[in-house]
């Protein structure tokens, strides 16, 4: 590729025309020379980070909403902080993860439909997902209502459980906002409109901080004020996305359609497979807290593990953005019938993810003696964290690759396959092995976490083999068939979209 053409493509991608640059309507030619490989690597890197950058900002702002709530509530007292942290970390996180997984089915369908030029179907898919997620919100509501008694049953302090239960009931409106929020978010992501999501999330975060101050301190509403602030900002995010879609996304949004009620059950099955895939990953890391709590010297074990997983979570935010970016890249390229572009985007992203993972692992290993100082001055905890740092480094490396492969799976529509792999690697192999090493072999938290890391390594290995053996031309054929079936096309290949 000559220099003027490369400069033109680079300019288009940087300016936001990376979704379908006019000069890249054809698939890549095979890259057989070092120069050709460098060109592909450069272009794919630009496309990836042009999407991943705003996605990371969006996730950081969303993460900051809960963090700001905990910070403001923490100044009310220890009981308030513990209660709200448990409500957000257990009750709300469970629903958040499940509904996010359900909404992830749209990443496959919307991304491939957009790539295939069936842009008008994105609005139909979004409406279909609204119906399904709203129904599941109704099913999840009793969990919020009985949160207090449930937390007591799980062994929480009565005072903390009662306040957490009250707070959970007060944030039920936030739960229902997710039914509209996640599908709208996937609708915009499929079209690579990450800049819009980033700006909305940033503005809402600033407003959320102002509302927290007003309700908690200005009006002295305490934890109830924090709940009001969460409800308002959740619906503000949701409504801002929907207004943008209905006003500025005229191709993807063509009005409410009766087609939203078509093939609901098939859509539920795909959505549930997506939710199962994501939740099996989230619950796997949550389960380590429960098992660690039964070890000897549980206070030190849980404390040091919490510090390590908190640090791991910050790296995770970066790779959740990469996960969303590669999902969009793969689904769009498959929809455009460009198998080599899809394959190259995956290989470039995995290569960069490994480099980033190695970098974070080295930082953790070099700074292992000082990591705990961010959180505590306790000598025993610092020593324990220093020992666990080796496992933390390996976890960061594995997670960097695992998140990319997970994004590829969503983009390609492999959710059911990954769910089965997760079930076997994590729950049939990883957790039992960790339990044996931690309890019976006497390795404590090192053995427990080490066994579960081996489960992650097994999952990553299996998915890497599946990825290596993937026939991308066949994936394009399956994508084309999926768009045809889900797109409601008749025998003349014309989509039907009857408005209400």
| DSSP-derived secondary structure for 348-365 | HHHHHHHHHHHHHHHHHH
pLDDT of residue 495: 39
> Quick one: which of 60, 72, 6 has its CA closest to 38?
6
Please check the confidence at residue 4 and state whether its pLDDT lies above 70: no
- Reported as a single tens digit per residue, the pLDDT across 298-312 is 667 767 777 787 788
Using 50, 70 and 90 to split pLDDT, how confident is the model at 19?
Answer: very low
Q: Give CA–CA dist 316/399, Å, rounded.
A: 8
Q: Which DSSP state fits 30?
A: P
* Three-state DSSP string of 279-348: HHHHHHHHHHHHHHCCCCCHHHHHHHHHHHHHHHHHHHHHHHHHHHHHHHHHHHHHHCCCHHHHHHHHHH
Distance of CA 257 to the CA centre of its chain: 28
Residues linked to residue 257 through DSSP beta bridges, in sequence order: 499
Q: What is the DSSP string of 444-483?
A: HHHHHHHHHHHHHHHHHHHHHHHHHT--HHHHHHHHHHHH
pLDDT of residue 199: 94
Alpha-carbon Rg for the chain in angstroms? 23
pLDDT of residue 15: 58
pLDDT of residue 21: 43
What does the pLDDT average to over 483-487?
A: 71
Using 50, 70 and 90 to split pLDDT, how confident is the model at 211?
Answer: very high
Q: Specify the range with the lowest mean pLDDT, choosing from 1-10, 113-122, 435-444.
A: 1-10
pLDDT of residue 372: 82
pLDDT of residue 481: 84
Please check the confidence at residue 124 and state whether its pLDDT lies above 80: yes
Q: Give CA–CA dist 103/130, Å, rounded.
A: 9
Helix (H/G/I), strand (E/B), else coil: 77: coil
Please check the confidence at residue 377 and state whether its pLDDT lies above 50: yes
What does the pLDDT average to over 259-268?
A: 79
- Reported as a single tens digit per residue, the pLDDT across 159-179 is 888 998 999 999 999 999 999
Helix (H/G/I), strand (E/B), else coil: 154: coil
Please check the confidence at residue 474 and state whether its pLDDT lies above 60: yes
Which alpha helices (H) appear in 171-297, and where do they start and end? 172-190, 194-212, 222-248, 264-292
pLDDT of residue 82: 76
> Which region, left, alpha or beta, applies to residue 493 given φ > 0 means left and ψ of -120 to 50 means alpha?
left
Q: What is the DSSP string of 156-177?
A: --HHHHHHHHHHHHHTHHHHHH
> Which region, left, alpha or beta, applies to residue 496 given φ > 0 means left and ψ of -120 to 50 means alpha?
beta
> Quick one: which of 193, 257, 220 has its CA closest to 18?
193
Q: Give CA–CA dist 109/487, Å, rounded.
A: 9
Separation in Å, CA 242 to CA 15, 182, 197, 220, 253: 24, 11, 11, 32, 10
Q: Specify the range with the lowest mean pLDDT, choosing from 75-84, 122-131, 480-489.
A: 480-489
Q: Specify the range with the lowest mean pLDDT, choosing from 95-104, 371-380, 429-438.
A: 371-380
Using 50, 70 and 90 to split pLDDT, how confident is the model at 500?
Answer: very low
Mean pLDDT value across the chain? 84
Q: Give CA–CA dist 438/492, Å, rounded.
A: 62
Please check the confidence at residue 257 and state whether its pLDDT lies above 70: yes
> Quick one: which of 76, 86, 14, 87 has its CA closest to 45?
14
pLDDT of residue 26: 66
pLDDT of residue 92: 85
Please check the confidence at residue 458 and state whether its pLDDT lies above 50: yes
Percent of the chain with pLDDT over 70: 89
Please check the confidence at residue 198 and state whether its pLDDT lies above 80: yes
Helix (H/G/I), strand (E/B), else coil: 13: helix
Please check the confidence at residue 424 and state whether its pLDDT lies above 80: yes
- Reported as a single tens digit per residue, the pLDDT across 22-47 is 344 567 878 778 888 888 899 899 98
pLDDT of residue 260: 78
pLDDT of residue 274: 80
Break the chain into its structural domains and give their ranges.
Answer: 53-262, 266-487
pLDDT of residue 16: 57
Using 50, 70 and 90 to split pLDDT, how confident is the model at 12?
Answer: low
pLDDT of residue 13: 63
Separation in Å, CA 37 to CA 17, 182, 313, 317: 22, 37, 33, 29
């Amino acid at each position: 590729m000559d220099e003027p053409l490369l400069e033109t493509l680079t300019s288009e991608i940087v300016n936001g025309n990376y979704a379908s640059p006019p000069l890249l309507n054809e698939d890549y030619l095979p890259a057989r020379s070092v120069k050709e490989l460098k060109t592909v690597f450069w272009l794919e890197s630009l496309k990836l980070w042009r999407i991943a950058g705003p996605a990371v900002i969006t996730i950081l702002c969303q993460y900051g909403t809960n963090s700001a709530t905990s910070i403001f509530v923490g100044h009310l007292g220890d009981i308030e902080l513990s209660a709200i942290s448990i409500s957000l970390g257990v009750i709300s996180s469970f629903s958040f993860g499940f509904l996010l997984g359900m909404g992830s089915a749209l990443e496959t369908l919307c991304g491939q439909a957009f790539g295939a030029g069936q842009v008008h179907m994105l609005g139909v898919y979004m409406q279909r997902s609204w119906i399904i997620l709203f129904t599941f919100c109704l099913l999840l509501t009793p969990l919020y209502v009985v949160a207090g008694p449930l937390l007591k049953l799980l062994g929480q302090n009565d005072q903390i459980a009662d306040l957490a239960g009250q707070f959970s009931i007060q944030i039920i409106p936030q739960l229902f906002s997710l039914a509209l929020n996640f599908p709208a978010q996937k609708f915009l992501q499929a079209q690579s409109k990450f800049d819009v999501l980033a700006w909305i999330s940033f503005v809402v975060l600033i407003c959320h901080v102002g509302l927290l101050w007003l309700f908690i301190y200005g009006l002295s509403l305490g934890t109830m004020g924090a709940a009001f602030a969460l409800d308002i900002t959740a619906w503000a995010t949701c409504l801002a996305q929907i207004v943008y879609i209905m006003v500025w996304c005229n191709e993807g949004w063509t009005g409410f359609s009766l087609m939203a009620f078509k093939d609901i059950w098939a859509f539920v099955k795909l959505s549930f497979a997506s939710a199962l895939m994501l939740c099996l990953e989230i619950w796997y890391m949550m389960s380590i807290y429960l098992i660690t709590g039964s070890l000897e010297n549980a206070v030190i074990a849980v404390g040091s593990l919490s510090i390590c997983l908190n640090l791991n979570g910050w790296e995770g935010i970066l790779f959740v953005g990469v996960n969303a970016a590669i999902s969009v890249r793969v689904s769009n390229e498959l929809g455009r019938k460009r198998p080599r572009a899809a394959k190259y985007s995956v290989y470039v992203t995995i290569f960069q993810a490994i480099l980033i993972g190695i970098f974070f692992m080295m930082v953790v290993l070099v700074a292992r003696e000082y990591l705990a100082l961010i959180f505590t001055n306790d000598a025993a905890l610092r020593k324990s964290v220093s020992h666990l740092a080796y496992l933390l480094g390996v976890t960061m490396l594995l997670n960097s690759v695992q998140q990319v492969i997970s994004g590829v799976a969503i983009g390609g529509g492999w959710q059911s396959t990954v769910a089965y792999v997760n079930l076997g690697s994590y729950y049939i192999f990883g957790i039992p092995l960790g339990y044996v090493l931690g309890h019976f072999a006497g390795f404590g938290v090192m053995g427990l976490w080490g066994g579960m890391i081996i489960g992650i390594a097994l999952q990553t290995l299996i998915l890497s083999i599946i990825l290596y053996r993937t026939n991308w031309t066949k994936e394009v054929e399956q994508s084309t068939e999926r768009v045809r079936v889900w797109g409601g096309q008749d025998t003349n290949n014309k989509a039907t979209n009857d408005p209400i």
